[in-house]
């Protein structure tokens, strides 16, 4: 099961990974590395001084536990309580999930061994720890070459959207870390699904890159419950995943989320929707971002004045546009009822494919921020389809206002 070696990794990649592995074993400054979900900020999970380095680089509250990343099941078993030699310390409950989704975007909660093999800072005092085997070849190679499990949160500054490209990490952590491994844009784009199979019924603590339907299809997980609280439900009960109580995923701009974009009709957000907000909002709201999750339809009330489809950075109407292969960016002039004819709209279209929306979401929020928009309107999607629960969970946390 999960036979894996670094033999398939190209020579010119192995060298830097070997160096990074050595660095992780001997230094206390964390290393940023790509995974299939988001970039992680990794440290040797067995050494306290090294794990403390993560919290200080990120500005992360110390009561928020970290996920432990392993390259193989042998490494995971080394962290668990060993009973008899022929009894597998991995709880039976997780066998089907591991078979189906590892390596991949799934984190499982496990009982920590006594005495613990992990630095106490990893678990933030909890009797359990979260573990995941990422599918990114670079991540697996790095863990294997480091030879130790890597504790790693997302490599963003605390409260910011998670990084899905190396330059996002550099933007947030420049001067705080020494090493970023650049593996290009992340494939999944939202973090792993966190599940707890140690309670009855088992629960999803954080929606992520593996959908509810996929989890439910595994024996023993048919009745899995949702234990996370989205913004609309905050305050009803104490959050169970400690990280979920903090401000999260927030760009500088105010985010206004349209919860159910289906109710907006076929054409999505219109100039009238935006005008209504811009008229009632404080003056100076001149730069507007829109994140669309459906095919942009001409004649929706926004007049497209420029459309860029190439890579790189360009100027459109005096505005710097960061081109991104993950989505289409256009600028449009907001007309109609707003009376704010000088307002500029940066229109980002993530398309209507949920996997693509997830992949481009954090990048879009960050790009709009770097363009200096004051407000970002987002067309929400139906959170019951595939991994849309993860997309909407992050957006509800990022939003300062939710409309239905
Ligand atoms: O995809 C991912 O999971 C990324 C990549 C880097 O692997 N990592 C990530 O880590 O998102 P972080 O620290 O940003 O989020 C970890 C989440 C938090 O919500 C935390 O509270 C929860 O997992 N968690 C970790 N250990 C836990 C535990 N023992 N009990 C409950 N929740 C736990
Ligand atoms: Mg995070």
Q: Model confidence over 284-312: pLDDT tens digits?
A: 556 788 888 875 444 333 333 333 333 34
Q: Residue 151, class by beta-carbon neighbours within 10 Å (0-12 exposed, 13-18 middle, 19+ buried)?
A: buried
Instruction: Check: CB of residue 100 under 8 Å from CB of residue 220.
Output: no
Q: Whose CA is nearest to atom 19 of ligand 1?
A: 243
Among all bound ligands, the one having the nearest atom to the CA of 158 is: 2
Q: Which long-range contacts (CB under 8 A, 24 or more apart) does 279-282 make?
A: 279/337, 279/338, 279/339, 279/340, 281/375
Phi, psi angles (nearest 5°) of residue 370: -70, -20
**pLDDT tens sequence across 212-256:** 999 999 999 999 999 998 855 444 444 445 444 456 788 888 898
**65 CB less than 6 Å from ligand 1?**
yes
Measured distance between the N- and C-terminal CA atoms of the chain, rounded to whole angstroms: 46
Check pocket membership of 154 for ligand 1, CB cut-off 6 A: yes
For each of the chain's 404 residues, which pLDDT tens digit applies? 234 456 667 777 888 899 999 999 999 999 999 999 999 999 999 999 999 999 999 988 888 999 999 999 999 999 999 878 889 999 999 999 999 999 999 999 999 999 999 999 999 999 999 999 999 999 999 999 999 999 999 999 998 999 999 999 999 999 999 999 999 999 999 999 999 999 999 999 999 999 999 999 999 999 999 999 885 544 444 444 544 445 678 888 889 898 866 656 545 676 666 666 666 555 555 678 888 887 544 433 333 333 333 334 444 444 444 555 677 776 665 544 455 555 677 888 888 889 999 999 999 999 998 888 888 989 999 899 999 999 999 999 999 888 87
Residue for token pair 């290009």:
184
Closest ligand by atom to 40 CA: 1
pLDDT at residue 234, as a whole number: 42
Q: Is the CB of 390 inside a 6 Å radius of any atom of ligand 1?
A: no
pLDDT given at position 287: 78
Percent of the chain having pLDDT more than 70?
A: 76
Q: Which two tokens stand for residue 155?
A: 């490599």
Ligand 1 pocket member 191 (CB < 6 A): yes
CB 140, CB 103: distance < 8 Å: yes
User: What pLDDT shows up at residue 371?
Assistant: 84
Q: Measured from the CB, is residue 21 less than 6 Å from ligand 1?
A: no
**What is the position in ligand 1's atom list of the atom closest to the CA of 192?**
1
Ligand 1 atom 20: residue of nearest CA: 243
Nearest partner of 396 among 236, 240, 207, judged by Cα: 207
CB of 129 closer than 6 angstroms to any ligand 1 atom: yes
| Cβ 257 vs Cβ 315: under 8 Å | no
């Amino acid at each position: 099961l999960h036979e894996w070696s670094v033999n398939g990794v190209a020579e010119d990649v192995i060298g830097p990974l070997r160096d990074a592995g050595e660095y992780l074993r001997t230094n206390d400054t964390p290393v940023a590395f790509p995974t299939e979900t988001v970039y992680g900020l990794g440290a040797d999970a067995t050494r306290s001084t090294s794990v403390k380095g993560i919290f200080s680089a990120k500005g992360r509250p110390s009561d928020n536990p970290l996920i432990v990343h392993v390259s193989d099941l042998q490494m995971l078993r080394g962290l668990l309580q060993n009973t008899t030699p022929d009894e597998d310390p991995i709880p039976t409950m997780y066998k089907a999930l591991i078979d189906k989704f590892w390596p991949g975007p799934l984190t499982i909660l496990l009982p920590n061994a006594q005495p613990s093999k992990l630095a106490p800072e990893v678990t933030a005092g909890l009797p359990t720890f979260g573990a995941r085997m990422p599918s990114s070849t670079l991540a697996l190679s790095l863990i294997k070459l480091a030879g130790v499990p890597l504790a790693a949160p997302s490599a963003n500054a605390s409260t910011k959207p998670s990084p899905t490209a190396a330059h996002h990490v550099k933007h947030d952590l420049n001067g705080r870390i020494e090493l970023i491994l650049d593996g290009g844009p992340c494939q999944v784009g939202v973090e792993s699904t966190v599940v707890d199979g140690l309670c009855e019924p088992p629960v999803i603590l954080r929606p992520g890159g593996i959908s509810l339907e996929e989890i439910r299809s595994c024996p023993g997980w048919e009745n899995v419950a949702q234990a996370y609280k989205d913004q609309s439900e905050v305050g009803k009960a104490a959050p169970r995943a400690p990280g979920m109580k903090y401000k999260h995923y927030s760009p500088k701009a105010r985010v206004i989320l349209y919860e159910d974009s289906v109710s907006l009709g076929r054409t999505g957000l219109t100039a009238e929707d935006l005008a209504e907000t811009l008229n009632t909002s404080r003056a100076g709201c001149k730069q507007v971002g829109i994140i669309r999750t459906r095919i942009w339809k001409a004649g929706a009330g926004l007049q497209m004045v420029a459309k860029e489809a190439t890579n790189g950075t360009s100027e459109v109407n005096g505005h710097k546009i960061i081109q991104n292969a993950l989505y289409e960016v256009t600028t449009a002039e907001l007309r109609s009822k707003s009376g704010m004819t000088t307002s500029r709209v940066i229109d980002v279209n993530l398309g209507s494919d949920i996997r693509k929306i997830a992949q481009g979401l954090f990048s879009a929020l960050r790009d709009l921020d770097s363009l200096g928009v004051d407000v970002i309107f987002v067309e929400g999607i139906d959170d019951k389809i595939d991994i849309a629960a993860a997309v909407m969970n992050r957006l509800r946390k990022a939003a300062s206002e939710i409309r239905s």
